[in-house]
Amino acid sequence: MDHNNENSVGSRVSTIKGGTLIEQFASGIRPPSQIPTAGKLFEMSAAATNARSSMPPPQANGLKRKTLAERAGETERAAPAPPSSRPVSAYVRATSLAGVPRETSFSSSVSSSRPSSVASTRNVSNSSYSSTVGPGSRPPSTQSYRPQSAMSRLQKPAPSLNRPATSLEVHEEEPGTVRNFGKRKGRTPFSSNPQGIPQSKKPLRIGGSYDTLVSCSSQWESEPFKAFTIREASLSTAFNCLTLNNGSAQSAPKAEMDGAPRSSRALSTPKAEVPQTPSQIPKLAPRVAVPAETPSPSKSPQKSPKKLPVFLNRFSNDVIAWDTESRLDEMENMYSHLKEKWNGATTESNSLREMMAVYKIRITELEAIRTQLSSSNAALQIDLNTTKAQLATSSEALDDAKRFQNIRLDDMQRQHRREIDDVRHDAETDQRRLVREHTEKLSDLERTLNNALEDEKTRHQREVQALTNEGASTQQEKDKELEKQVKAYQTLEDDFRMCKSDIVKEQDLNHELRTKISKLTGNIANLENSVQRLEGHIHFLESDNKSQSQAFADLEARMQNALRSAAEANVKLRTEETLRRKLHNQVQELKGNIRVFCRVRPSLEGDATDTARIAYPDDGTDSKEVEVMGPEEKSSLGNITTRKHPFAFDRVFGPNSNNQDIFGEISQLVQSALDGYNVCIFCYGQTGSGKTFTMSASDGMIPLAVNQIYDTAKSLEEMGWKYKMEGSFIEVYNEVLNDLLGKADEFDKKKHEIKHDMQKGKTMITDITTVDLDSPGKVGSILQRATANRSVASTKANERSSRSHSVFILKLIGENSVTGEKSEGTLNLVDLAGSERLAHSGAIGERLKETQSINKSLSCLGDVIGALGQGKEGGHVPYRNSKLTYLLQTSLGGNSKTLMFVMVSPLQAHLSETLTSLKFATKVHNTHIGTAKKQTKA
């Protein structure tokens, strides 16, 4: 619909409401009111109204409406014609004012001789207007004189009880129903065209509910009514729009668009909303009252077909419009249609009622739940209050109990203090008494003892005399025995000296041979030079000079001799080397497979000034004795005495000795490792006695040993020996092995297992880092790495280096490419954990565990050495008792060489530990016996 149309529709709506239709239609379409409104016209409208009201409600209050036939005969209550802008023709005015009967008016209208083209336009307008809008367009004043019409109800709804709903009322509320009324109104005047005007069976449908009107008009569509038809169509459309926009039915067009049946839409407005929550229980939508009246076919205008009202138009007099049969059919259709609607509404109403019932039940249920929840909430509230009250009571009781307890505690403390004071007082009294008694007893005892001493002295003198006599005879026997022992000792010493001189000789021989070899090597080089020179001469002297040839042969022979003797010297040298190894091992065995060295460290700057008295009785080149003055002891007589503790070891190094001096003594053992023996050198002593300094300092045993091995291996290359050196560094902490060259964060987590190959005398440790020592410089980096890892693993409370054993393992694998000899020796350099005793350490917790572990492994080491010292072949040696001894199994006992350094602190404060360490070392030293056995075997 275009804008103009909208405007026109709007204007028309207002026009209908205001009843001033004529002015509104001035724009565009000629209003029908321009046609004079005569009494006939009124009658026709009334007839239309009557037709619409032919469906009285079933419960009509008994007021019988007049039939069309009855009304047809009624005198018109004249209504003034609407104002017209056009001059009313005399003909029309006469008709209107005269109030002539319809038939007359109709006939006069028909007899009009006006040109049909003009008349048709006007007639259609009039017809449409009168049939659709009807009397409603008339001034309200006229309504009192005429029967109730649809339009009158449109303006002012009448009470439903007094009169039935009219078609226009339904038209307002139910746009769908309008079509019937439109049809009904529009058809009647033209359906029986007495002039034989051609009727079209096919109505022209332009729009909406007023198509009937158009259908009526279409009767005139044949010539000469073409123009009229176009006008009629526009009017129909306009009225259709009027209906759609009217009042409460504004939503109807949309409903039509949605395809919903009009009747049901009208009935169901306003739409009931289904609630989302139970609280919003839906209420039945206010229902539009379904018109109770059902159009009754019995009241159909067919009862008085002859008195049917006729629309007043130009042709009113020509046409008698009433088709009873079709009207009846139509009404029946309408009836059935309304009935259907009624049934539909009833069904919907029932379903809504059911729904309401369901929601009511739901409401009841929810009410019940709410009541239940409220009661449980109240009960819980009561519980809560009770609990709170109990809590308050309990806390009060607790406070009381606390107060009471504190008071009791104070009382007890006071009582306790009093008791202590009493006891102290008693004790002091007792002490004084006891001292007094004791002093008395002491003086008695002194007296008694003096007497006894005198007696004893005399008895002793007598005994001494007797013993002197006895001793003289025993002395003589002892002297004889001693002489024998001295002789045996001298014999042994001679043997040893001989061995020593043999070794010296061998060493001299070795040296000589080396000198010879170097000389021979020089000779060979000289000879080779001579050969080259001679070869030059050969060319020159190849002039068959006999003498020259002879000289050449001589030279050749000499060269061959020199080469032979060089080869012999090399062979001899290798034999000598093998012999040297043997002799070296013999010497080491003679020295003892388990040797003990003692080293006393010097006093350091930060040390306490109070140093222990340590003497070196045989201080000189080969010091072997050390004497430690024990702590002062007070005799019962008050005399202060000190005991000397003499100890003897294989070597004793005083505080002035340095690491080089010490290494000079152990270098022979390092040589043994190169020769294919397992060597174990460990430092034993309390914390701070110098173990780490001796082992791992930059000039300690580890770097010096590696350097020596490196140098020696290089010199042995001349004799065909090639060595491979592998180093690894292990820590034994709390009986767990750690890789000091591995990752510090894997400490105490990664498991390492010890595996022995007893046949080859080899030890393997799983998952351990091994570094190839292809240059002596590598040792420094290894030591640094190990120290760094140890410091990472240690905490403030745990100086790890003192609390764990560290073992530097150096594997020396040698092979002689000339002789095919192979050797595999291992040098173990062990820095043991501090040996302080458990009782002295005062350790607790983790420290206690460490100390226990250290003590255990050190005592196991002592046990192993002790068992080895007993020398029983096949006897059990308890290596497995600790991780340390098990790790060193192949380097302790058997063919291996063991050297123990006992490290001594010079401090008086450490005296007790010093004595313990020296006693332990003495025990180890006394296990020398194994050596003699080997010597015998050899």
Ligand X SMILES: Nc1ncnc2c1ncn2[C@@H]1O[C@H](COP(=O)(O)OP(=O)(O)OP(=O)(O)O)[C@@H](O)[C@H]1O
Q: What residues make contact with ligand X under the rule CB under 6 A?
A: 601-602, 604, 685, 687-693, 801-802, 834, 903
- Minimum distance of ligand X from residue 665's CB (angstroms): 15
Nearer to ligand X, 832 or 864 (CB): 832
CB of 789 to ligand X, least distance (A): 15
**Nearer residue to ligand X within complex by CB, 580 or 601:** 601
CA 848 to chain centre: 40
CA–CA gap between residue 540 and residue 835 (Å, rounded): 82
Nearest to 818 by CA among 512, 570, 518, 509: 570
CA dist 426 to 178, 422, 437, Å? 131, 6, 16
Cross-strand pairs, 600: 904
Choose between 188 and 692: whose C-beta lies nearer to ligand X.
Answer: 692
**Shortest spacing between CB 657 and ligand X, in angstroms:** 7
Instruction: Please indicate if the annotation marks 387 as binding a ligand.
Output: no
Provide, rounded to whole angstroms, the least separation between the CB of residue 682 and ligand X: 12
Beta bridge partners of 807: 730, 830
Q: Closest separation between CB of residue 582 and ligand X, Å?
A: 35
Residue with Cβ nearer ligand X (320 or 730): 730
Query: If you count them, how many residues does the chain have?
Result: 938
- From first CA to last CA, the distance across the chain in angstroms is 136
**Nearer Cβ to ligand X, position 313 or 692?**
692
Asked if 190 and 315 touch (Cβ cutoff 8 Å), the reply is: yes
Nearer to ligand X, 21 or 600 (CB): 600
Q: Which residue is nearest to ligand X (CB)?
A: 690
Residues facing 757 on adjacent strands: 762
The secondary structure of 335-380 as a DSSP string is: HHHHHHHHHHHHHHHHHHHHHHHHHHHHHHHHHHHHHHHHHHHHHH
678-684 and 897-904: which strand pairing?
parallel
Was 689 annotated as part of a binding site? yes
227: three-class secondary structure by DSSP: helix
Taking the complex as a whole, the smallest distance from the CB of residue 685 to ligand X amounts, in Å, to: 6
Helix (H, G, I), strand (E, B), or coil: what is residue 40? helix
Residue labelled with tokens 């929550």: 277
Q: What is the 3-state secondary structure (H, E, C) of 839-890?
A: HHHCCCHHHHHHHHHHHHHHHHHHHHHHHHHHCCCCCCCCHHHCHHHHHCHH
CB of 684 to ligand X, least distance (A): 9
Q: Which is nearer to ligand X, 282 or 655 (CB)?
A: 655
Give residue 47's Cα distance to chain centre: 91
Indicate the residue among 677 and 901 with the shorter CB distance to ligand X. 901
Q: How far is the CB of 923 from ligand X (least distance, A)?
A: 20
Distance of CA 564 to the CA centre of its chain: 81
**CA distances to 77, 186, 329, 412, 665 from 399, in Å:** 107, 103, 102, 20, 79
Count how many Cα atoms sit within 13 Å of the Cα of residue 433 in the half-sphere of its side chain.
6
- Distinct helix (H) and strand (E) counts, the chain: 26, 14
Cis peptide before 147 (omega within 30 of 0): no
Q: Is 692 annotated as a binding residue?
A: yes
CB of residue 801 vs ligand X: minimum separation in angstroms?
5
Residue with tokens 């042995």: 716
With tokens 């025990």, the residue in question is 923
* 259 marked as binding residue: no
Please report how close the Cβ of residue 802 comes to ligand X at its closest, in angstroms: 3
Residue 532 has φ and ψ, to the nearest 5°, of: -65, -45
CB of 739 to ligand X, least distance (A): 19
What CA–CA distance (Å, rounded) separates 496 from 205? 150
Picking from 739, 735, 759, the residue whose alpha carbon sits closest to that of residue 747 is 739
Residue 601 CB, shortest distance to ligand X, in Å, is: 4
**Residue 532 annotated as lining a ligand binding site:** no
Give, as one character, the DSSP assignment of residue 280. Answer: S
Pick between residue 552 and residue 693 the one whose CB is nearest to ligand X: 693
Least distance between ligand X and beta carbon 854 (Å): 10
Instruction: Name the amino acid, one letter, at 779.
Output: V
Nearer to ligand X, 861 or 903 (CB): 903
- CA distances 438 to 66, 432, 447, 452, 645, Å, are 158, 10, 14, 20, 36
Smaller CB separation from ligand X, 280 or 656:
656
Tell me whether residue 875 is annotated as binding. Answer: no
712 annotated to bind ligand:
no
Nearer to ligand X, 129 or 597 (CB): 597
664 is in an annotated binding site: no
Q: Which phi and psi angles does 581 have, rounded to 5°?
A: -60, -45
The smaller minimum CB distance to ligand X, of residues 284 and 604, is found at 604
- Determine phi and psi for 222, rounding to 5 degrees: -75, 155
Q: Is 925 exposed, middle or buried (0-12, 13-18, 19+ CB in 10 A)?
A: buried
Binding residues: 685-692
Binding-site positions for ATP: 685-692
